[in-house]
A = this chain, B = another copy of it.
């Protein structure tokens, strides 16, 4: 298998953009990535785009040709990949495979979502399409409700980590204060999180990730492709895609996600590294409990001990296992189809040493973890900066 290089990155700042179209956000982020890569667009062999809710929220599907036309490369074979909130990660996974297995030498991969112009009710219904509509949604479940069940089960199996969940949110807001691309720039504290309006017990408002507009793009190349980029070269050394039942009732465990463990095993093996080698990770914090579970499934901490690591400050920006230095889905934002790509951009920015005030002292190996639905889909990528 061939090595994969991230030659260029580009994203819109994440936020609420009532006046920006899908075209507009794709143009900004896609062009930025192509310019950053300094690669002739004529060399592109294919384009992949992650999008989840274009149809219910904007009436737009068929985003492969839309992005290709918008970026002035209309004859590039382009397609949309969808796997709920992991749509961006899945598009990246497909793009990595295309380079790695010799289908193409240069590809463009992006994600985009436009969400904030719709009402909460419409957005909630659109997000519900990521669960099993016939078997789960008709019982009245929403995603806050599903993950609240997961949290309550976690409390039952281990202990009540409400306070540690609150600290997850505080860390996210703290990191986002240092990220110009983050949607929220607002300091909070644990007491504010714990006293916030209830969404679905044990979740309050600050336990839930954001509704966000945004786009994020990468240019990937084979290692032997010469580009004009002068940034530190970053390789994608491991890439895993794990699957599980769509429904929660089909699971053996509610407090550990098999799709994560499966994708992680693949990615670690390919990269020849283990959890202890990872300098930073962007993990899918759709809810605060999800981040804690993910860090356990990724092997960073023992099962049931993810909360302890948060309490001890280990996952904070200056901790020994910094999680979501970008601010994460909670505070950088969660433009669903773009999230998996935006996570990669944070890791690459850290590996390049370009993260400004939130730059880590050591950033050589990073990991992204992107979940879809109630973890029916998981994509994990491992990035290494060349020395």
Contacts and interface: CB of A to CB of B under 8 A. Distances in A.
Interface of A: 21-23, 46, 52-56, 58-62, 64-66, 68-69, 74-84, 90, 94, 97-98, 101-103, 125-126, 128-134, 137, 241-247, 250, 258, 262, 372-373, 376-377
Given A59-B129, A74-B250, A79-B81, A65 B22 contact: no
7 contacts: A59-B137, A60-B132, A65-B244, A68-B243, A74-B250, A75-B244, A77-B262
Nearest to A134: B21
A129 B51 CA distance: 13
Nearest to A85: B62
A128 B58 CA distance: 11
Contacts of A23: 134
A298 to B, nearest CB: 18
Nearest to A130: B62
Given A56-B56, A58-B133, 8 more contacts: A55-B126, A74-B244, A78-B377, A79-B94, A79-B241, A80-B82, A80-B83, A97-B103
A83 B75 contact: no
A146 to B, nearest CB: 13
- Indicate how many identical chains form the complex: 2
Contacts of A21: 134
A258 B83 CA distance: 30
A76 B243 contact: yes
A168 B208 CA distance: 55
A145 B56 CA distance: 23
Nearest to A62: B84
A138 to B, nearest CB: 10
Contact of A75 (B53, B65, B94, B258): B258
Contact of A243 (B22, B74, B377): B74
A194 B42 CA distance: 46
A374 to B, nearest CB: 9
A214 B377 CA distance: 25
Contacts of A82: 61-62, 79-82
Given A53-B55, A58-B133, A64 B78 contact: no
Given A69-B250, A97-B103, A128 B74 contact: no
B246 A66 contact: yes
